[in-house]
Chain A
Amino acid sequence: MIGTKSLTEQREIDKSDVEFVRAVANGEERALASLYDRYSSILFGLLVRILHRRAEAEDVLQEVFIQVWQKAPDYDESRGRPFSWLVTIARSRAIDRLRSLDARDRLSMAAALETPEVASESADDEAIRHEQRDIVQSALDQLSEQQRQTLLLAYLEGLSQSEIAARLNEPLGTVKTRTRSGLKKLHGILRKNLDKLR
């Protein structure tokens, strides 16, 4: 059954991620290339979502991997899995880039809304990705509409809590409470399945 198979594989992948990051900290280029091969499309997907433009997203993707190279020695396993570390770097770089562009650029970027080229992948990878997506999506579906919305706006769109409050026309305190309770609830649901996710 694919679920059981990918569970064992995922554990192995997680362990090897940590080894890759350690190797990068040791100056091994090939380890960085391996991380790129494994995670560039998922990180690029996030960058395109936040930045709406391929050219910007590609610039930022380069910055991300350079930062990975430089900061690998600082990676601490006890603060979260390597994937979370990569995503945090990607998000920060993207949001910095987003904030440095002026308002006019941002409007035209939102209008451009390009559909990015979907990455080609093996049938196995695709199946694993669908399973991961389904696990997270069905967990998200168990949150209230408002909790889901604030989480996605904060994390995947890169909006600050104040920006979310302004957009939804809600008090800042309410938004913060929803964000907190939403993430905690999601954590509770996903807890059992966190092993299955890279």
Chain B
Amino acid sequence: MNHEDYKELLALDALGSLDDAETRALQTHLASCAECRGELAELRDTASALVYTLPYAAPHADLRGRILENIRALRSDTTQGNNNMPQSGETAQDTATATPTPPISTDDASLPSQQTSTVLPFTTRRREGTGRVWKYGTLAASLAVAALLVSLGVLWQRNRALQTELARLSAQTIDTQARINRMEQELAREREAEEIFAAPDARLATLAGTEAAPDARARLTYDRQTGRAIMFAHGLPPAPAGKAYQLWFIAGGKPLPGAVFTTDAEGRAVLRDQMPPEGRADPIFVVTLEPSGGVPAPTGDKYLLGKSEG
């Protein structure tokens, strides 16, 4: 590939649209071409600007805290590990001598919850004639023991961190499962509603308010085949205590009882109902006010009335 070919890849790379082979080839070229690196940076900034056209969205309020917790769990892992890298200006010497290693014991209470360094200070060798071999032997042994104890401490800390993480993840799993259940339920309800609207034998009835509620309106869609119905009502006055609205299907002169419902604070209601088989062939729909819990035959005033438009 010549330079022009690589330049052709830049825009697609900025958009994240290159395949793996192309990406690798471009990376190799970029290592030695400042011109392309500069152009890629500008194209990347152009691409990311596209995000400004999207609406902002708010994630769950506790996400921030969870992320910070995760970070802390990660941190206590990396400082336990072989992390002798100096932080911002400190030298490795400083890290070794400045942070004292706390006494290691298996007693839970004595271990600090945040250990910042597990660098073992090296003792200096002493040069003394005959006792040298014996002293080195002891030194080696005590170093080995100390190293073992340090590893124990390290593993202990890691275990604690993992336990915390496990607890957190379990809580999160339960939370997520609850969410999934709720969403599945919602989805099932939405699908049900869709099926009603999309049914080949679907009918729409418009209900108008009576003198008891002149501003009330309702639209009721029902599937003559399955009898499933969904009604959106608004403008209904709130039902007084001990009372509720009830839907009726009038077919063959007889009122068949439907579902009982109440309205929200704004006088609206969404109702899903199952029409009895005898009531499915284009009944008259009526909503009355009844004792809460419903009744087998209508007793109260009519609030909404209507039938399908055909």
Contacts and interface: CB of A to CB of B under 8 A. Distances in A.
A136 B52 contact: yes
B59 A40 contact: yes
Contact of A80 (B8, B41, B59, B187): B41
Contact of B14 (A43, A95, A112, A183): A183
Contacts of A45: 51, 54-57
Nearest to B175: A55
A88 B179 CA distance: 28
A120 B70 CA distance: 26
Determine the interface band of chain B, counting residues with CB < 8 A from chain A: 35 or more
Interface in B1-51: 8, 11-12, 14-17, 19, 37-38, 40-51
A142 interface: no
A123 interface: no
Contact of B71 (A29, A37, A132, A179): A29
B71 A40 contact: no
Interface string A49-76: 1000011011001100110011000000
B55 to A, nearest CB: 6
A18 interface: no
A27 B37 CA distance: 28
Contacts of A151: 15, 50
B42 A187 contact: yes
A66 B74 contact: yes
A129 B56 CA distance: 9
Interface of B: 8, 11-12, 14-17, 19, 37-38, 40-60, 63-64, 66-68, 70-72, 74-75, 87-88, 176, 179-180, 183, 187
Interface of A: 26-27, 29, 32-33, 36-37, 40-46, 48-49, 54-55, 57-58, 61-62, 65-66, 69-70, 78-81, 83-84, 87-88, 91-92, 95, 108, 112, 116-121, 129, 132-133, 135-137, 140, 151-152, 154-156, 160-161, 176, 179-180, 183-184, 186-187, 190-191, 194, 197
